Amino acid sequence: MPVPLRCLVVDDEPLAHTVLRAHLDRLPGLVAWAGSCYGGAEALAQLHTTPVDVLFLDVDMPGLTGLDLLRALPQPPAVVLCTAHATHALDAFELGVADYLLKPIRFERFVKTISRLHAGRPAASAVPLAPAVEPATTAIFLKTDAGMERVRVADLHFIEGYGNFVKCHLASGRVLLTAETMKQLESQLPATQFLRIHKSYVVNLANIERFSGNILVVGTRELPVGSTYRPDVLRQLNGAAREPK
């Protein structure tokens, strides 16, 4: 087995930490969470005391930017720049970064980055990554009019209560209607990947793009956050991302 890569996430947006943590949790044995920093100065201090293998680094941060931090490190670990803008690509590769990810970061693209990083390790270059790139629950079977249909968990953006049925919204744009209840379906989904935000909605954490007021944006859909669930949503998107290092 390869030695897990110790990963530090540096981004001023808590949501970015939540998405990356969800991706990291789906790669057990390949990566390990080494902590969160919400600014360049905080990361600079932590890197002096905590060894890491990979730095997932946001570019646009107040104060010390990601590029400023990278230039300040005499011997940086492997750096993966994470940004919503492609304009920093030239600077990134001039600074020798390992990869450059555009937000929102999709899991499939994230896996390619981790594979490339492991391939750079002599001891890990011959280790096949396929058995570990998905969590234990990789797929579920849904009861539909056409019979039992297999759906990959990674392709499930969110589920929506619809009377006595549940709509399953997939990455492809398809919507599957199943007679299973929200409770039955939620119990089949990995708790570290899916979050109940409303009595009628459960979302895939990896596909959350924005949270503002009582609205959560998943893909292109704006979903309401119920008042009963709002404290849990806030803890998940803010508190969980700031858990002790």
| Mean pLDDT (whole number) for 202-225 | 89
Three-state helix/strand/coil letters over the chain:
CCCCEEEEEECCCHHHHHHHHHHHHCCECCEEEEEEECCHHHHHHHHCCCCCCEEEEECCCCCCCHHHHHHHCCCCCEEEEEECCHHHHHHHHHCCCCEEEECCCCHHHHHHHHHHHHHCCCCCCCCCCHHHCCCCCCEEEEEECCEEEEEEHHHEEEEEEECCEEEEEECCCCEEEECCCHHHHHHHCCCCCEEEEECCEEEEHHHEEEEECCEEEECCEEEECCCCCHHHHHHHHHHHHHCCC
- For 192-201, the pLDDT digits (tens) are 788 999 999 9
Domain that holds residue 115: 5-132
User: Do 25 and 107 belong together in one domain?
Assistant: yes
User: Do 156 and 65 belong together in one domain?
Assistant: no
**Reported confidence tier of residue 54, pLDDT bands at 50, 70, 90:** very high
User: Do 145 and 173 belong together in one domain?
Assistant: yes
| Mean pLDDT (whole number) for 141-163 | 87
User: Do 88 and 45 belong together in one domain?
Assistant: yes
0.85 exceeded by the pTM? no
CATH code, domain carrying 209: 2.40.50.1020
Among 132, 157, 183, which residue terminates a domain?
132
Among 115, 132, 149, which residue terminates a domain?
132
* pLDDT score for 88: 64
User: Do 127 and 200 belong together in one domain?
Assistant: no
* pLDDT score for 137: 60
| Mean pLDDT (whole number) for 11-27 | 92
User: Do 81 and 143 belong together in one domain?
Assistant: no
